[in-house]
């Protein structure tokens, strides 16, 4: 195999550009998040008539869409360049086109949010109607990401052609699966934006079918969270074993779990729509069952991770049932941050099972429990893994090294995050069980005794939010140092090797026609009949409202 040890300099520039935008989004979106928790404590008012909902929209768009998409695409460019070789000049040129489209789109969207023309939150549910510029900006972000996806596909296909009969490198394979997933799911949001929302906001059509728009959004919205999660899994499966000095448990099982995610993360959007009037409960249940199938690859991942850790510990002479835990490199932030992310995925996943359950969701739907949930999944598991990856990726790309002082700061950063998130997400979960709604400014609901019970939890959220903001400042200090000020030198891009006893990987995982075909069949089974039903029994459409 033509293993390239370094990411090509020109590819590194492209990857770094994406990562810079991601961390700028983290700074601004994090500030918005801090302000939200302060407002909800009831002790603080936003200055200068700034609306809570403008800040909330900014927070969701910047952290849910911009931070994630930019970091993921930057990371994947680097990972693919590292494992399948440098991009061709033409390919890299298209990579830059994708980058600029996404960046311009982000700027346009942010502009319309900040001037108050798009306080529709990052889910932009019709018939709330934003300025057309908001939808146009989002379209550019999505189209830019598609171009970057195709750059990866073309590059990977070229490698396969040059290496006939060989299994593609694991990291590249995983990046391709993630972009296939992204492409299939973002067709849904593209359809509602281009066919429904844009013409309607431009005044070309008067009315919109609200349920169809929501359904297309959630066809996209749930796989979106797997698009965030899979790059974290790439780090766990293919990089962490090398970081700790061990071997990967199994290459085939890693690929199998990614294929299972591709199949089962899309036909599941109805579990976000369980409380809706226009969908038959039978079809809700069908998608609930499909939703739960992603438990299988998650269990596989948990097994593989701990098997890797135990194999490594025992190879270092660990004894006893849990002696291997002591052999792990706890002082290495590249390991520690993602490991903490893994631990948080246990309560996060359990909460997810509650949310996706046909009946349990009735207790928590649209309460702040849900916000607490995805601040564990995305804002802890995924984000801590991304931070942990940034600690070697950025210096690798910038030609610098992480000093011991920065590593220590990164360990502290992780602990600060754990403390802040335990306060904030914990309080969100409890307040949610008591009925406190998500996405709402401070309110006592006409001095309702029930609402007054939530206030201590809301103060705890503000305490947690403040600690988390300190965590954001710390990670920004580290990232700035690694990108611009750290001592020059060579940092390794760790890529794990497979353990000796693991078997050869079969080629069947790269039978794209087969897997994409099954994915499409599952989508058709889950969506065709209810979707036809929605259109055939559609009520009169809705005109647009600007109620902020």
Partner 1 sequence: MHIHKYEKIWLIFGIGCLFVFLTVLGVSAFAKGNQPPSCLTTIDPEKVDQTPPFDKPGLAKTGNNEYQLNMVASAFAYTPAQVEIPKGAKVTINITTKDVIHGFEVVGTNINMMVEPGYVNSFTKTFDKTGEYTILCNEYCGAGHHMMTARIKVVDK
> Could you list the active site residues?
222, 226, 373-375, 438-439
**What span, in angstroms and rounded, lies between the C-alpha atoms of 67 and 175?**
17
**What span, in angstroms and rounded, lies between the C-alpha atoms of 430 and 218?**
26
Q: CB of residue 1 vs partner 1: minimum separation in angstroms?
A: 21
* Among candidate residues 57, 68, 51, the one with its CA nearest the CA of residue 33: 57
Which of 3, 280, 490, 497 touches partner 1 (CB under 8 A)? 280
One-character DSSP codes across 93-110: HHHHHHHHHHHHHHHHHH
Enumerate residues 221-260 that contact partner 1 by CB under 8 A.
250, 252-253, 256
Angle separating helix axes 251-264 and 295-315, nearest 10 degrees: 160
* HSE value, Cβ hemisphere, 13 Å, CA-based, for 466: 9
Which of 260, 288, 389, 428 touches partner 1 (CB under 8 A)? 288
Q: CB of residue 213 vs partner 1: minimum separation in angstroms?
A: 10
Q: CB of residue 127 vs partner 1: minimum separation in angstroms?
A: 5
* Among candidate residues 493, 79, 494, 501, the one with its CA nearest the CA of residue 249: 501
Which of 163, 407, 422, 440 touches partner 1 (CB under 8 A)? 440
Is 49 a binder of partner 1 (CB under 8 A)?
no
Looking at the Cβ atoms of 119 and 385, the one nearer to partner 1 is: 119
The DSSP letter of residue 453 is T
* Among candidate residues 195, 184, 178, the one with its CA nearest the CA of residue 219: 184
Which of 47, 164, 277, 487 touches partner 1 (CB under 8 A)? 277
Is 128 a binder of partner 1 (CB under 8 A)?
yes
Which of 154, 441, 455, 473 touches partner 1 (CB under 8 A)? 441
Is 350 a binder of partner 1 (CB under 8 A)?
no
Is 115 a binder of partner 1 (CB under 8 A)?
no
Angle separating helix axes 9-40 and 89-114, nearest 10 degrees: 20
Whether omega for the bond prior to residue 127 falls within 30 degrees of 0, making it cis, is yes
Which of 32, 67, 142, 274 touches partner 1 (CB under 8 A)? 274
Enumerate residues 481-520 that contact partner 1 by CB under 8 A.
503, 506
Both tokens assigned to 545: 């409202």
Is 446 a binder of partner 1 (CB under 8 A)?
yes
Q: Could you count the other beta carbons within 10 Å of the beta carbon of residue 338?
A: 26
Is 435 a binder of partner 1 (CB under 8 A)?
yes
Residue with tokens 């990046």: 175
Is 443 a binder of partner 1 (CB under 8 A)?
yes
**What span, in angstroms and rounded, lies between the C-alpha atoms of 35 and 54?**
11
Using the contact rule CB under 8 A, the part of the chain among 84-92, 99-107, 221-229, 297-305 near partner 1 is 297-305
Looking at the Cβ atoms of 106 and 291, the one nearer to partner 1 is: 291
Number of residues that bind partner 1 (CB under 8 A): 70
CB 246 within 8 A of CB 497: no
Which of 362, 484, 511, 518 touches partner 1 (CB under 8 A)? 362
Helix (H, G, I), strand (E, B), or coil: what is residue 400? strand
Q: CB of residue 343 vs partner 1: minimum separation in angstroms?
A: 18
**What span, in angstroms and rounded, lies between the C-alpha atoms of 271 and 275?**
9
Which of 121, 152, 259, 519 touches partner 1 (CB under 8 A)? 121
Both tokens assigned to 207: 């009315």
Which of 361, 414, 417, 420 touches partner 1 (CB under 8 A)? 361
Which of 366, 403, 407, 480 touches partner 1 (CB under 8 A)? 366
Both tokens assigned to 288: 């609930």
The DSSP letter of residue 468 is H
Which of 48, 359, 404, 488 touches partner 1 (CB under 8 A)? 359
Looking at the Cβ atoms of 86 and 274, the one nearer to partner 1 is: 274
Both tokens assigned to 210: 């609200």
Sign of CA dihedral 155, 94, 143, 85: positive
Looking at the Cβ atoms of 317 and 447, the one nearer to partner 1 is: 447
Is 437 a binder of partner 1 (CB under 8 A)?
yes
* Among candidate residues 302, 499, 301, 478, the one with its CA nearest the CA of residue 393: 478
> Can you state the percent helix, strand and coil of the chain, rounding each to 5?
75, 0, 25
Looking at the Cβ atoms of 204 and 446, the one nearer to partner 1 is: 446
In the complex, the residues that contact partner 1 under the rule CB under 8 A are 51, 53, 119, 121, 125, 127-128, 210-211, 214, 250, 252-253, 256, 273-281, 284-285, 288-289, 292, 295-296, 299-300, 303, 307, 353, 357-359, 361-363, 365-367, 434-435, 437-443, 445-446, 448-451, 503, 506, 537-542, 545, 547-548
């Amino acid at each position: 195999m033509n293993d390239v040890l370094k990411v090509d300099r020109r590819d590194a520039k492209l990857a770094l550009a994406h990562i810079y935008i991601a961390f700028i989004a983290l700074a601004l979106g994090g500030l918005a998040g801090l302000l939200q928790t302060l407002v909800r404590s009831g002790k603080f008012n936003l200055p200068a008539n700034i609306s809570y909902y403008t800040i909330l929209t900014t927070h969701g768009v910047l952290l849910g869409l911009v931070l994630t998409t930019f970091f993921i695409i930057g990371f994947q460019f680097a990972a693919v360049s590292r494992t399948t070789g440098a991009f061709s000049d033409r390919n890299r040129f298209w990579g830059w086109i994708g980058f600029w489209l996404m960046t311009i789109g982000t700027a346009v969207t942010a502009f319309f949010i900040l001037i108050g023309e798009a306080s529709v939150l990052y889910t932009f549910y019709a018939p709330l109607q934003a300025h057309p510029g908001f939808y146009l900006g989002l379209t550019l972000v999505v189209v830019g990401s598609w171009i970057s996806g195709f750059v990866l596909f073309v590059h990977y296909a070229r490698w396969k052609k040059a290496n006939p009969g060989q299994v593609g490198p694991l990291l590249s394979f995983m990046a391709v699966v993630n972009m296939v997933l992204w492409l299939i799911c973002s067709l849904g949001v593209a359809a509602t934006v281009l066919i429904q929302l844009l013409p309607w906001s431009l005044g070309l059509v008067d009315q919109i079918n609200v349920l169809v728009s929501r359904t297309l959004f959630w066809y996209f919205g749930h796989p979106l969270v797997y698009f965030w999660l899979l790059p974290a899994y790439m780090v766990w499966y293919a990089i962490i074993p090398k970081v700790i000095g061990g071997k990967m448990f199994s290459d085939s099982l890693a690929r199998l779990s990614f294929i299972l995610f591709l199949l089962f993360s899309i036909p599941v959007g109805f579990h976000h729509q369980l409380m809706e009037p226009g969908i038959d409960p039978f079809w809700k249940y069908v998608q609930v069952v499909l939703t739960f199938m992603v438990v299988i690859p998650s269990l596989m991942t948990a097994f593989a991770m701990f098997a890797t850790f135990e194999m490594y510990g025992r190879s270092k002479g660990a004894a006893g049932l849990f002696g291997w835990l002591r052999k792990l490199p706890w002082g290495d932030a590249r390991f520690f941050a993602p490991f903490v992310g893994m631990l948080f995925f246990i309560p996060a996943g359990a909460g997810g099972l509650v949310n996706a359950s046909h009946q349990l969701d009735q207790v928590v739907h649209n309460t702040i429990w849900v916000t607490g949930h995805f601040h564990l999944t995305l804002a802890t598991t995924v984000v801590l893994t991304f931070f942990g990856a940034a600690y070697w990726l950025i210096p690798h790309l910038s030609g610098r090294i992480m000093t011991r002082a920065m590593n220590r700061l990164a360990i502290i950063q992780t602990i600060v995050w754990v403390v802040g998130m335990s306060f904030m997400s914990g309080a969100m979960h409890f307040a949610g069980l008591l009925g406190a709604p998500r996405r709402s400014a401070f309110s006592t609901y006409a001095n309702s005794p029930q609402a007054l019970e939530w206030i201590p939890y809301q103060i705890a959220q503000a305490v947690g939010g403040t600690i988390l903001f300190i965590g954001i400042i710390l990670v920004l200090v580290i990232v700035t140092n690694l990108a611009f000020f750290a001592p020059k030198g060579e940092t390794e891009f760790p890529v794990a090797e497979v353990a000796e006893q693991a078997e050869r990987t079969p080629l069947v995982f790269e039978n794209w026609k087969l897997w994409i075909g099954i994915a499409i069949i599952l989508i058709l089974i889950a969506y065709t009949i209810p979707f036809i039903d929605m259109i055939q029994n559609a009520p009169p459409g809705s005109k647009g409202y600007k109620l902020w």
